[in-house]
Amino acid sequence: MQFNDVLELVRDDLERVSEAIRANFESDVALIPTIGNYLSNNGGKRLRPIMVLLSSRFAGYAGARAITYSCVVEFIHLASLLHDDVVDEAELRRGGPSANSNWGNEASVLVGDFLFAKSFALLAKENVPEVLTSLSQASCHMAEGEVLELVNHGNLQIAEEEYLDVVYRKTAALFESCCEIGAYLGQLDAGAAAALRAYGRNIGLAFQLVDDALDYVAHEDRLGKSIGKDLEEANVTLPLILLHAQASPQERAFLNGLMEAERVDKRDLATVIEYMERYHIIEEVLGRARAYADAACEALKPYNANGDSEPLMAVANYVIERQE
């Protein structure tokens, strides 16, 4: 099964999710739906809703709650992107100007707050404590992950475990929660629910490692956002950690200089990419991402007797091969 087949499988559900997203962006404060529509019309892979929908199906649940929760996880994700693009001073998102470029930082932060608040209003209405607990914990992790990333800016000595902890919190925790929601809706037994959570966690880790590799080597047009942002912000991700560990003393001195520099230009980025090519760093990062995706599939193997895990496994493959 390919990712396109997955999209076909959930097409009607995703249409309903889009309707729910549109409806819940409504507000008599016009700027909210304006930015909301801008965000939800300009693409986005809807990967987190897909995770909720597929894990619900996997667990044997086909009711309306999966649509509402898909809308909620997309809102939490969009809120976090609005805030993240302010923090990262990002100019592009999903192939167009970011919301902060178009409307400024204040509007982005505040509409992010609306989306985040709306997520919890929807959760309150559903009144399912298990799902509320899962998504509130994931949201705390996301904020902790971003803070931890911030305090480690410029820290080329950061241990890989600490970097992976940041990745778990800022990205993988929400993926894990999406799968936990499906497991809960389908009332899976403890073993299968744990397997689904492990799948989600590993997909999230793989997703962020690929994101961190693409930040150095993607084609901007396909990626839809600027490359080289992590270096510019002295945000130390796995490509830089692995490079720093293998680099010569001169190369290390150059990298250390960049962490302190006022400005990092295209030439500096090209030099770092050249070093990364020398040590096959991106291959190494993508290899590790592949290992997480494999671990995700491995967790679901015992539950694939009737091909039930196939769509989720196809997502694992997509996460690794994506260029956008």
Residues that bind Mg ion (CB under 5 A): 84, 88
- Closest CB to ligand FPP among residues 78, 299: 78
83 sits near ligand FPP (criterion: CB under 6 A): yes
**Phi, psi (deg, nearest 5) at residue 97:** -60, 140
Is 296 within 8 Å of 202 (Cβ atoms)? Answer: yes
88 sits near ligand FPP (criterion: CB under 6 A): yes
227 sits near ligand FPP (criterion: CB under 6 A): no
- Closest CB to Mg ion among residues 182, 204: 204
140 binds, among ligand FPP, Mg ion, none (CB under 5 to 8 A by kind): none
Distance CA 174, CA 134 (A): 9
Interacting residue with ligand FPP among 18, 24, 80, 98 (CB under 6 A): 80
Minimum gap (Å) between residue 169 Cβ and ligand FPP: 9
Is 77 within 8 Å of 69 (Cβ atoms)? Answer: no
79 sits near ligand FPP (criterion: CB under 6 A): yes
* Distance in Å from the first CA to the final CA of the chain: 20
3-state secondary structure 252-311: HHHHHHHHHCCCCCHHHHHHHHHHHHHCCHHHHHHHHHHHHHHHHHHHHHHHCCCCCCHH
- Closest CB to ligand FPP among residues 13, 88: 88
Interacting residue with ligand FPP among 139, 177, 202, 309 (CB under 6 A): 139
Distance CA 74, CA 17 (A): 9
Minimum gap (Å) between residue 312 Cβ and Mg ion: 26
Interacting residue with ligand FPP among 107, 142, 158, 181 (CB under 6 A): 142
Distance CA 295, CA 301 (A): 10
**Phi, psi (deg, nearest 5) at residue 93:** -155, 130
Distance CA 86, CA 104 (A): 9
Q: Which residue is nearest to Mg ion (CB)?
A: 88
Is 268 within 8 Å of 258 (Cβ atoms)? Answer: yes
177 sits near ligand FPP (criterion: CB under 6 A): no
76 sits near ligand FPP (criterion: CB under 6 A): yes
Minimum gap (Å) between residue 248 Cβ and ligand FPP: 28
Interacting residue with ligand FPP among 13, 84, 180, 251 (CB under 6 A): 84
- Closest CB to ligand FPP among residues 24, 309: 24
Counting every residue written for the chain, the total comes to 324
- Closest CB to ligand FPP among residues 76, 316: 76
Among the listed residues 270, 211, 289, 276, the one whose alpha carbon sits nearest the alpha carbon of residue 244: 276
List contacts with ligand FPP (CB under 6 A).
Answer: 76, 79-80, 83-84, 88, 90, 112, 116, 139, 142-143, 146, 170-171, 211, 225
